[in-house]
Structure 1
Amino acid sequence: MKLFVGLDVSSQHLDACFLTDDEKLTILKEARFENSLLGASQIKKVLLDYVEAYELSKIVVGMEATSLYSFHPAMFFKEDEDLSHFNLEVSVEQPQKIKKYREIFEEEKNDRIDAFYIAEYFRTRRYATPVVKEEQYLALQHLTRTRLQIVEQLVEAKQHFIENIYYKCNRLPIELKSNGNDTSVLSATLVTLMTEDYSLDQLAEMPLEDFAALIQEMGRGRFKNPEGLAKAIAKAIRGSYRLGKVQQDSVDIVLSVIAREIRSLEKLIKELNKAIQDLVVTVPEYQCLTSIPGIGLVYAAGILAEIGQIERFDDETKIAKYAGLYWPKKQSGNRQSKNTPLAKRGNRYLRYYLVEATNSMRRHDAEYSAYYHKKYVETAKHQHKRAIVLTARKFVRLVDILLRNHQLYVPRRGPIEK
């Protein structure tokens, strides 16, 4: 007989349902425990009592992924030495999946009923990734997920900076692009130039040679054509609208604040990159991924942190589905839709690191570069987004092979198959 324990986890409580898989689906116990070390220890005692009372072939403890609240209970049961002797399996499932399963049955909603349906969900073996990840993967996950969150903040800050640059000098992005300059509005030099004590009129009236020298000094001599850049900026200033003094002052303050935010976030990302690189080398599998051209320690860490032990997944299709890199089929009768959108569910952190790693790899690997360009020309809309996602799906197969076989990447020789 197997025992399935459904835990409905909240910040304060663990509502538990102990359900057997015999013909009667017997509920041995329903109770509320405190979400603490004491409460988890009480559940453990109940489990050990049932081990003595019944011939249990397996114990499954299942719960929903409820933000921070499910972390400690899951790790408690997984790492407990006493329970490890009794074929214990701990699983944390996406709440949306259990919700969809529960909606089949029309009953009132409360914590006791929720715990029962969680136990029933795991009894039906509907979950795909039952194993809770090892500690080193979870530690790495804290760093890589925080890094992504800060990267998203940085992207938003840069978008705000660009918006406010338009108020101050609306022609600047256009002139930079039209004159063939590869300098971005978000370059450190341009950010400093637009947020320092120089007014637009002062910059426009400055002799070209002096303006070019100022730009080269701010850029620490990295510009190949400072005169051309100075000319493009001066032209943008002359062609841009002027704000009133009060509004101009407010825009300058906003730009200055956002510029400091951008510098601060970039510094934080560098610190996290260093911490990630120091930790990921303790995970042996990192060498499998860093052997791929274009994949550094940070991208490898992000992928490993979310996948964990590769044995959690039966094959590469399960990894792709877990990351949301799949297209659900739509079929009715003899009709099957050919235009199906990418799945919106899945682990967004894994999807991000897989796509970013793919985008880096395809610049260094001929096979993946050819595949990307093949998919790019197959459609007229959203070419890059579609091509990179399809290439990332191909990349998942490579990741699965390397991690499962513990091997390094060897580029394919000979003609590339298309």
Structure 2
Amino acid sequence: MRQLNVIRSFTMKKRNIFQNQSQEILTLFEMAKDRSKVMCIPMDYAKKDHMAMFCNGNGKILRKPFSIKNTPEGVEYLIDQVTRSCHHHGIDIKHTFFGGEDCGTYANNFIEALRSENWLVAGVNALDAKRHRENVQASTDRLDLLGISKMLLNCRGNCSPAQSGIYWNLRTLCRERQKLVVTKSGVKNRVHTIVDQIFPGFLNESKSGIPPFSPASLILMEDRFSVHQIRRRRPTALVKIIAKQGLPNPEGRAEKLQRYAGQVLKPQKDHIVTLQLSLKQQVRLILCLQESTDQLQRDIAAHLAQIPGAFLTTIRGIGLILAAGVSAEIGDPSKQRSLTNLVSYAGIIPQIKQTGGEQGKTQVIRVGKRCNRILKNYVVQCGMHMGIHGPDELIADYKRREARDQHADFGMARRFLRMAMCLMRTHQAYLPKHLRSQQCLMKERARYYQEAWPLLMDKWRRVRMLDIAFDKKMPLGQWRNMIQELYGIKLSL
């Protein structure tokens, strides 16, 4: 019964059998009324020369494949040829659209140049286009164009960019920060290999007393770091360095560090200088990456404060980076498809197979690999964070799912997406379930907002974006003013 409920809950509600067709292309065909009066231009993008072909809505080739330069002159030449061909075949230029496979950044400027001239440009999935080719054994420009054209004439394509405007900027910043974090993790692994030789166990706080990769740890490793050097240092110098970085009990930590330095195996003196030079460069790289990551985090916060995704930070356990990552990958919530499509796009819903009629057995198998993996990573992290650090009702739900031997992280991720879309579309802050009913007293809601306010404010204060996030023109600032007027409370900055 539970499996059948899963099927019913995730079945399309529309009655049209063509669920994934582009509404923009469908509208264009309806306006033309005759498929022969529509011109489709499939394109095979490349770094230097694109390949294009002209065909009408019935699939008749009007012009064989030809080459176009990936330059401003190439854009002008293509538009000129399209205009001439439309005039020659009696096709209204308004009933023309372009399309090509989703590709790398090398073709983005070419596509945007066409869109800036108000041309309809669709993107098709490369795997789907491959399946529509006449010959699956070979791959040539002509065969690729035929596969793309079949997809376009079947109205299978995305006619608008996945992100635009501030959402595109936010997505770029979030992905760039993610790459820097991965790079920094690789550098830290190399530091571990060097420290294991020059001072074994230093990066273990329980042994050395210094938190690994903390400011105090990096300062010590940057300057002539070794077991011998730590043992020779004056205790007062070590205490001064540790105290300057704000660590508690600097005297005890310095004493523990020097005592531990006398217990470990020492490296050969011939190798110390080489290891010190290698470690110094790796530490400098970590400091540079940390500075770049911090700057990107502030830029991300500045962009997040301008969109409804800022309301995701009102959920306890969801920080700025997770909120920004989810908002950037989803895009404008007012233009997003249904929650069913979004859950599938995020890859957090299991696949279902059923055959043999109504009495046939339904199989629920693992989630599919075809999804937005970046969004999947963010929403699964959000589900896990809500289950550990979130509101009491969400923590209880997470534990209940675990007790039933369910995939708690995926289940909470789906619940998070429902909450996130509701908060972003309605421009509201998160409220526990018992405070959403009409019978709830305003005093109880006011008390909740006052208790949650310091936690929300602290998230934005860490990146020094408090004034920007709660400006009167920003979503959170407008919400703050409304709450203060409605409940007669003071949410001080």
Q: Which amino acid aligns with 2:191?
A: F
Residue among 116, 123, 129 paired with 1:92: 123
Q: 1:31, CA displacement in angstroms?
A: 2.4
Q: Which amino acid aligns with 2:99?
A: G
* Residue of structure 1 in register with 2:277 after alignment: 253
Q: Relative contact order: is structure 1 or structure 2 higher (C-alpha 8 Å, sep ≥ 6)?
A: 1
Q: Which amino acid aligns with 1:308?
A: G
* Residue of structure 1 in register with 2:241 after alignment: 217
Q: 1:246, CA displacement in angstroms?
A: 2.7
Q: Distance in 2 between matches of 1:347 and 1:323?
A: 5
Q: Residues 104 and 350 of structure 1: is their aligned pair in 2 closer, same or farther, counting only changes over 3 Å?
A: farther
* Residue of structure 1 in register with 2:434 after alignment: 414
* Residue of structure 1 in register with 2:21 after alignment: none
| Aligned residues: CA RMSD | 3.6
Residue among 396, 400, 411 paired with 2:421: 400
Q: 1:261, CA displacement in angstroms?
A: 0.4
Identity of aligned residues (%): 21
* Residue of structure 2 in register with 1:189 after alignment: 216
Is 1:289–1:300's contact at 8 Å kept on the other side of the alignment? yes
Deviation string for 1:317-370 (max 9, x for gaps)?
323333344444467876766662x54443344334444555555524334333
Q: Which amino acid aligns with 1:310?
A: P
Q: Residues 17 and 374 of structure 1: is their aligned pair in 2 closer, same or farther, counting only changes over 3 Å?
A: farther
Q: Distance in 1 between matches of 2:180 and 2:256?
A: 33
Alignment of 1:135-174 (within 5 A): 135-174=165-204
Q: Distance in 2 between matches of 1:323 and 1:352?
A: 9
1:28 aligns with 2:58: no
Q: 1:11, CA displacement in angstroms?
A: 0.8
Q: 1:33, CA displacement in angstroms?
A: 1.2
* Residue of structure 2 in register with 1:274 after alignment: 298
Is 1:280–1:286's contact at 8 Å kept on the other side of the alignment? yes
How many correspondences in the alignment? 392
Which is further off, 307-316 or 11-20? Answer: 307-316
Q: Which amino acid aligns with 1:10?
A: A
Q: 1:124, CA displacement in angstroms?
A: 2.8
Computing the radius of gyration from Cα coordinates, the structure with the larger value is 2
Is 1:293–1:361's contact at 8 Å kept on the other side of the alignment? yes
Alignment of 1:6-21 (within 5 A): 6-21=42-57
DSSP 3-state at the match of 1:240: coil
Q: 1:12, CA displacement in angstroms?
A: 1.0
Residue among 272, 285, 292 paired with 2:308: 285
Is 1:137–1:308's contact at 8 Å kept on the other side of the alignment? yes
* Residue of structure 2 in register with 1:80 after alignment: 117
Structure 1 unpaired stretches of 5+: none
DSSP 3-state at the match of 1:314: coil
Q: Distance in 2 between matches of 1:150 and 1:370?
A: 35
Q: Residues 377 and 260 of structure 1: is their aligned pair in 2 closer, same or farther, counting only changes over 3 Å?
A: farther
Q: 1:267, CA displacement in angstroms?
A: 0.8
Which is further off, 388-397 or 54-63? Answer: 54-63
* Residue of structure 2 in register with 1:38 after alignment: 73
Q: 1:312, CA displacement in angstroms?
A: 5.1
1:307 aligns with 2:327: no
* Residue of structure 2 in register with 1:318 after alignment: 341
* Residue of structure 2 in register with 1:241 after alignment: 265
Residue among 31, 45, 69 paired with 2:106: 69
Q: Distance in 2 between matches of 1:289 and 1:98?
A: 37
Q: Residues 196 and 331 of structure 1: is their aligned pair in 2 closer, same or farther, counting only changes over 3 Å?
A: farther
* Residue of structure 2 in register with 1:131 after alignment: 160
Deviation string for 1:264-299 (max 9, x for gaps)?
011111222233333444x44344434444545554
